[in-house]
Structure 1
Amino acid sequence: MRAGVAPTPPAEGAYFGAWVDPVRHYPPDGSASASPSPTPSPADDDQVTVVRDYERSLGRRLDIAAVYRSWSQEFPRRADADLAAEDRYLLLTWKGADTREIVAGRYDERIRTRARALKELGKPVFLRWHPRMDATSQQEKVHSAADYIAAWRHLREIFRQEGVDNVAWVWCPTSAGFNGGTAHTYYPGDDQVDWIAADIYPGGAYEYRDFSEAAAGFMDWARHRPKPVMISEFGVPRSYGERRAEWLRKAATYLQHPQIKAVVYFDSDKGGRDDSGQPRYEFSLGGDAAALSALREVATAPFFNPRNLPVAASG
């Protein structure tokens, strides 16, 4: 990994990463979870601590550590810098704002400040700006595909003016938007996008559905684009019970696709509802030894370890 250079796809295989929710280790009520480190630590250190714990459970360091930031939140935070300093790529998801206000220049100072801060970080960063922009729930601030594309180009131009060369731009609509939807109309163009991505979840909590079925529409579209693919979030619901490990092993087979160059597991039990109004289900593998063992098999397989990072013997 070279400082100051944007992440590039591995020649073979795919990077493996994860979002590890601090709540998985430090529940809001203070009770201990199934974490190797059940004692709560200072809030600003939680993210680094849980990532390190998670890596011990997988037997290797992550290639990618995912973090999430709101439009108004400052970044990179100390935790972001610490994660990047330990030879991981950051996958920084930055929520959007009103696209027309962005194009009008209302947020130029903020965008320029964030661009300079990422440049100063000097580490490779995946920047996933305003994912799922095609969802119905986003239309009040996205307005239209044309408005979104104009805003994307506005951000990229400011980053270009600031000489930011360590950021790879990740475009990520909804996966459902490729199944008869309009996701493709939000594509800013090959000259504007470095990686194309989608979050792939199997759907209903109780009706078993393979990863391959959930990913089919997106991958059919992606094969016509000369871009590396990132599965920027994926997870298997806890409700699948004993079949979770089976689901992960089958997903790993599908993910060994020559165009897929990065995969990121979403280890969280967020709750709430997704963009289609359906309940979000529990994807954390905490407390599920069989499923965690299956994910460890994925993470330590040569295909998903293209940097040949050291792998610890399973305990």
Structure 2
Amino acid sequence: MRITTPRVLALLCAALLSWYTFQVAPGLADRERRAAAARADAVLPPTTVLPDERPAPHPTAERPTVAFPAAGSAFIGVFTSAGAHDFTEAAGFARQTGHRPQVYEFSADWESDQFDAEAINRVAKRGMLPLVAWEPWDHKAEAEEPTLRGEQSEYRLSRIIHGSFDPYIRSWARGIKSLRYPVAIRLAHEMNGYWYPWCEQSNGNRRGEYVRAWRHVHTIFDEVGADNALWVWSPNVSYTNSTPLTRLYPGDAYVDWVGLSGYYGTVGKENYQSFDRLFTPTRTEIRRFTRKPLVITELGATDAAGRKAEWITEMFRSLQRHRDIIGIIWYQAVKEIDWRVGTSRASSAAFTAGASASRYQQKWEPGMTPRVR
């Protein structure tokens, strides 16, 4: 092969590209990750002392029990897609609203996520109650076709009931027990739909199996002694053809908080609907069979029609009336729609104004007892 100037230049370019790809780019990416983590830590510093880091109390000392949230109070949390390894979006929420979240929700699926005490500790050290959306499926194998999302035969409810996942469940139970502070578990949420493998409308599941699966998991935690687990039963807001909630409720002995998912502006439902219009029908349905405290475990609003600020303002007015709602968790992420609070100055300002009320100011600490009545 003749050595020519173009060939020499091509070889040099290839060498430089390889050097940049394998030597420079990873370093830049790592530097940016560290910088992002530092920015998040500046807003949400890890300052909370966990039980294992405290000196042992005097045997005669008695600590007063403090409920979270206290009577008359409510919390504001965030749910991000980054999980417990990246608090960038949570820090963004805090900057945009001036409110430090008291609860941090993140997902863990049964295929990919083993118990990780350090990940959960990272949340608690930042003064936020960890809330794990614990999902019995493989989210990486999620089908693109909506009607097929719930089809993963390995994760049928019958396999949970008959013990196929018992070692995995027990590993989480032992891990959560070891933490010695409350950890909320939002197990198999939105079960009244069709889009997850644990929904009774999908995956070959049968009527009654959801309750049996839930109780089976709960019983394993009881056997291990993981009484610091806080159980959050969390359907989607009811809709035409959704599974009736009374068929899916495991019973008050197996549930601590009741949750709800609901968004203003999802695809197909772009018309404006207020917080009350979105949540009140399902809240009324739930109150027919349980009085457990209610948490809005997924919440968001679109700004496509320029009414997000108005919606947020109305939401805080409604929350003043509904004192059985003890907390809301905002979905601070982009998923098809940008649900983050700060899509405009107006929406950020509206949230800041609402969240500044005294009832949202209670800080979470690991020694607090979750309010379950």
Is TM (by shorter chain) over 0.5? yes
Q: CA deviation at 1:59?
A: 2.0
Equivalent residue runs for 1:1-315 within 5 Å: 8-22=68-82, 45=85, 47-72=86-111, 73-76=113-116, 78-96=118-136, 97-137=155-195, 138=199, 139-141=201-203, 143-177=205-239, 181-202=243-264, 203=266, 204=268, 206-224=270-288, 225-241=290-306, 243-256=307-320, 257-271=322-336, 281-307=337-363
CA distance in 2, matches of 1:135, 1:75: 27
Instruction: Structure 2: state its 5+ residue gaps.
Output: 1-47, 53-64, 137-154, 366-373
CA distance in 2, matches of 1:99, 1:6: 37
Residues 112/210 of structure 1: CA separation in 2 closer, same or farther (3 Å cut): same
Q: CA deviation at 1:255?
A: 1.8
CA distance in 2, matches of 1:14, 1:57: 20
Q: CA deviation at 1:129?
A: 0.3
CA distance in 1, matches of 2:120, 2:204: 27
Q: CA deviation at 1:199?
A: 0.7
CA distance in 2, matches of 1:233, 1:296: 19
Q: CA deviation at 1:206?
A: 3.5
Structure of greater relative contact order (alpha carbons < 8 Å, 6+ residues apart): 1
Q: CA deviation at 1:145?
A: 4.1
Residues 81/10 of structure 1: CA separation in 2 closer, same or farther (3 Å cut): same
1:92-146 deviation digits (Å, cap 9, x = unpaired): 1011232110111111000000111112222321110000112123333471341
Q: CA deviation at 1:19?
A: 1.3
CA RMSD of aligned residues (A): 2.8
Residues 180/113 of structure 1: CA separation in 2 closer, same or farther (3 Å cut): closer
2:105 alignment partner, SS class? strand
CA distance in 1, matches of 2:270, 2:176: 41
CA distance in 1, matches of 2:66, 2:106: 17
Residues 111/308 of structure 1: CA separation in 2 closer, same or farther (3 Å cut): closer
1:303 alignment partner, SS class? helix
Instruction: Structure 1: state its 5+ residue gaps.
Output: 23-42, 272-280, 310-315
1:132 alignment partner, SS class? coil
CA distance in 2, matches of 1:217, 1:93: 24
TM-score calculated relative to the size of structure 2? 0.68
Q: Structure 1: which 4+ aligned runs deviate by more than 6 Å?
A: 4-7
CA distance in 1, matches of 2:193, 2:76: 27
1:35 corresponds to: none
CA distance in 2, matches of 1:152, 1:15: 26
2:338 alignment partner, SS class? coil
1:47-82 deviation digits (Å, cap 9, x = unpaired): 234323432332232110111111221133644321
Look up the equivalent residue of 2:292 and give its one-letter code. Answer: K
The count of corresponding residues between Structure 1 and Structure 2 is 278
Is the 2:129–2:184 contact (alpha carbons within 8 Å) kept by the matching residues of 1? yes
Is the 1:178–1:217 contact (alpha carbons within 8 Å) kept by the matching residues of 2? no
